């Protein structure tokens, strides 16, 4: 006598395997495009502070903090 398998133990068919692969691919593509658009939407202005130590023959002590390039 053959009994029905529960839904978690069903055999995988070709279509269900293809659907699972397609869903994973779609998820990865959504994550990649979302990350891309978030990085593009970031402000391009930055404030980089650097230490300015003066010239070689006359160093500043203590050094000055200036905005970088």
pLDDT of residue 24: 94
Quick: pLDDT tens for 8-49. Answer: 666 667 778 888 899 999 999 988 888 777 766 665 666 778
d(C-alpha 27, C-alpha 19), whole Å: 12
Residues forming beta bridges with residue 54, ordered by sequence position: 59
- Region 46-61: mean pLDDT is 80
Query: Between 7 and 66, whose confidence is greater?
Result: 66
| Residue closest to 51 by CA, chosen among 40, 61, 66, 34 | 66
3-state secondary structure of 13: coil
d(C-alpha 21, C-alpha 68), whole Å: 48
pTM: 0.40
């Amino acid at each position: 006598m053959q009994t029905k398998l529960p839904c978690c133990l069903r055999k995988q068919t070709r279509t269900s395997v293809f659907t699972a692969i397609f869903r994973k691919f779609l998820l990865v593509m959504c994550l990649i495009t979302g990350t891309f658009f978030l990085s593009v939407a970031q402000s391009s202005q930055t404030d980089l502070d650097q230490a300015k130590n003066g010239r070689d023959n006359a160093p500043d002590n203590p050094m000055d903090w200036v905005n970088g390039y």
